[in-house]
Amino acid sequence: MDNKILHSVTAIFHTPDDIINAAKAVVKEGYKKFDVHTPYPVHGMDQAMKLKRSPLGYFAFVLGVLGATLGLLLMYWTMTIDYPLNIGGKPTFPLPAFIPVTFEITVLLASVATVVAMIVIFFKFPNNSHPLHDTEYMKRVSSDKYGVTIEAADPNFDLEKVKAFLAKLGGTNVEPIYFDNDEINAKRTLLEPKFLTGLAVISVLVIAITYFTLNKLMFLEPFNWMMNQQKITAMEVTTFFDDGFSMRPPIEGTVARGFKPYPYKDSVDLASRFLVNPMEFSTENLENGKRKYNTFCSPCHDYHGNGVARLNGQFPNPPSLHTDKVREWTDGHLYHIITVGQNTMPSYDKQLTQDEKWQVILYVRALQRALNAQEGDLQ
């Protein structure tokens, strides 16, 4: 008893009226460090104890404003600054569309932070080692009784006087409450082996979980059959077909879409006799012919068909396209040359489509006409 430190003196009251009266009397007597314990909030007790109105409402207001600001800033930064998205031509800072999320973040932050502030700042909870815990007094006030405690830390505290005062008010079970010596004397230092071991175990666990999450879990493929399907790609070797090719040759006589077979490969005479340029003499066709001519023909034939190559002699110069011989060749003849080649000129069958060949021929005709204009052309 002697070496125990006194925390407070408690008294039990039996009706709500008694406890209100007791609280008023305690205040009147001038005690500051006292408390009333009731199993539920008793109306009028705050006034009886002369408690100030709880400032939690202001906390909630400030945190709500903070939440609204942070929410709006987050949306402004992501949608307007960091990665503006054009959604149907709407503005990148659509305030009305931001209102729902702003509201939700306001409510979330304000309510959660108010509760946390109350628990941590106002109550200093969690705290399960208060001297009142586990006392007979606490067991009664948590169920059906009402109690008053006057703490030893109060400047007016005097053990005998307080006991007499509480008994006079009608309090029963007037008892002193002591600090638990074990609690007070227990030394908790940072270097306690138990604490260090615990810390080490937690660190290892956190590292392991983080490693597993970031390096294994994130790359887990729960089902990979969409990723790895049973198929063979074009150039793969396969045992499925006898020839080992995965790509199948087309059936004999297959013609590609938009492709017309060229039957005059061996005979320039037939080509020049039967082939007619199907292209109209229009700006569009000429433009396209010019583009293709400049790309594929001009390196050797020159932009104007003069036969002055830009290849610095690395390839023999072709003859000019403006000779009478070439000018008198039919379109079919030119087509045949472009398709199968002539002398050192290779085939341009793969570079140009059929229509493009005809367009190039139109352009060549235009070039020839330009250097050999007739009087009628001026009209």
Partner 1 sequence: MATDITHEVSVIEGKPTLKEIDATIIKPMDEMPNIKFFIAIGFTTTLLLIGVFSLGMAFYRGVGLWGVNNPVGWGFAIINFVFWVGIGHAGTLISAILFLFRQKWRTGIARFAEGMTIFAVMTAGLFPLIHVGRPWLDGYLMPHPNQHNLWVNFTSPLLWDVFAVSTYFTVSFVFWYMGLVPDFATMRDRLKNSTVVSKVKKTIYSVLSLGWRFSNRHWSHYEMMYLVLAGFATPLVLSVHTIVSFDFAVSIVPGWHTTIFPPYFVAGAVFSGFAMVQNALIIIRKVFNMEHIVTLDTLEKMNKVIIVTGMMVGYAYGMEFFIAWYSGHEVESFAFLNRAFGPYTWAYWIMVSCNVIFPQFFWIKKLRRNIPFMFVIAILVNVGMWFERFVITVTSLSRDYLPSSWAYYVPTIWDIGLLIGSFGFFFTLLLLFTRTMPVISIAEVKSVVAGSQPTRHKLGHHEEDEHNG
List binders of partner 1 among 70-129 (CB under 8 A).
74-75, 78-79, 82-83, 85, 87, 90, 94, 97-98, 100-101, 103-105, 107-108, 110-112, 114-115, 118-119, 122-123, 125-129
CB 285 within 8 A of CB 343: no
Q: Hey, is 72 helix, strand or coil?
A: helix
Q: Minimum distance between the CB of residue 211 and partner 1, rounded to whole angstroms?
A: 18
Alpha-helical (H) ranges within the chain are: 16-29, 45-48, 56-76, 95-117, 136-141, 159-168, 181-185, 193-211, 268-274, 283-292, 298-301, 324-328, 331-340, 354-371
Q: Could you tell me which stretch among 10-18, 150-158, 170-178, 359-367 binds partner 1 (CB under 8 A)?
A: 10-18
Q: Minimum distance between the CB of residue 62 and partner 1, rounded to whole angstroms?
A: 12
Q: Which is nearer to partner 1, 126 or 376 (CB)?
A: 126
CB 19 within 8 A of CB 25: no
Site for partner 1, residues 23 to 62, rule: CB under 8 A: 23, 35-51, 53-54, 56-57, 60
- Report CA dihedral (136, 137, 141, 147) to the nearest 10 degrees: 160
Q: What secondary structure does DSSP assign to 323-348, as a single string?
A: SHHHHHS-HHHHHHHHHH-BTTB---
Q: Which is nearer to partner 1, 146 or 157 (CB)?
A: 146
Q: Which is nearer to partner 1, 87 or 206 (CB)?
A: 87
Q: Which is nearer to partner 1, 17 or 158 (CB)?
A: 17
Q: Which is nearer to partner 1, 114 or 285 (CB)?
A: 114
Q: Which is nearer to partner 1, 153 or 370 (CB)?
A: 153
Q: Which is nearer to partner 1, 48 or 279 (CB)?
A: 48
Site for partner 1, residues 137 to 166, rule: CB under 8 A: 138-139, 141-144
Q: Which is nearer to partner 1, 50 or 369 (CB)?
A: 50
CB 73 within 8 A of CB 181: no
Q: What are phi and psi of 18, to 5 degrees?
A: -60, -45
Site for partner 1, residues 323 to 362, rule: CB under 8 A: none
Interface map 266-305 toward partner 1 (x if CB under 8 A): ----------------------------------------
Q: Minimum distance between the CB of residue 278 and partner 1, rounded to whole angstroms?
A: 39
Q: Which is nearer to partner 1, 32 or 161 (CB)?
A: 32
Binding partner 1 (rule: CB under 8 A), the pick from 132, 174, 309, 366 is 132
Site for partner 1, residues 222 to 241, rule: CB under 8 A: 222-223
Q: Minimum distance between the CB of residue 187 and partner 1, rounded to whole angstroms?
A: 22
Q: Which is nearer to partner 1, 116 or 370 (CB)?
A: 116
Q: Minimum distance between the CB of residue 64 and partner 1, rounded to whole angstroms?
A: 8
Q: How many CA atoms lie within 13 A of 56 on its CB side?
A: 15
Cα separation, 32 vs 155, in Å, equals 8
Q: What secondary structure does DSSP assign to 207-249, as a single string?
A: HHHHHIIIIIGGG--S--TTTS-S---TT-B-SSSTT-BSSPP
Q: Minimum distance between the CB of residue 48 and partner 1, rounded to whole angstroms?
A: 8
Give Cα separations from 198 to 190, 195, 292 (angstroms). Answer: 12, 5, 77
Cα separation, 358 vs 248, in Å, equals 32
Q: Minimum distance between the CB of residue 129 and partner 1, rounded to whole angstroms?
A: 8
Query: For the chain, first and last CA: distance in Å?
Result: 130
- Does 20 contact partner 1 by CB under 8 A? yes
Q: Hey, what are 191's tokens?
A: 């270097």
Q: Minimum distance between the CB of residue 12 and partner 1, rounded to whole angstroms?
A: 13
Cα separation, 62 vs 72, in Å, equals 16
- Does 212 contact partner 1 by CB under 8 A? no
Instruction: Read off the amino acid at residue 186.
Output: A
CB 128 within 8 A of CB 180: no
Q: How many residues bind partner 1 (CB under 8 A)?
A: 72
Q: Minimum distance between the CB of residue 31 and partner 1, rounded to whole angstroms?
A: 13
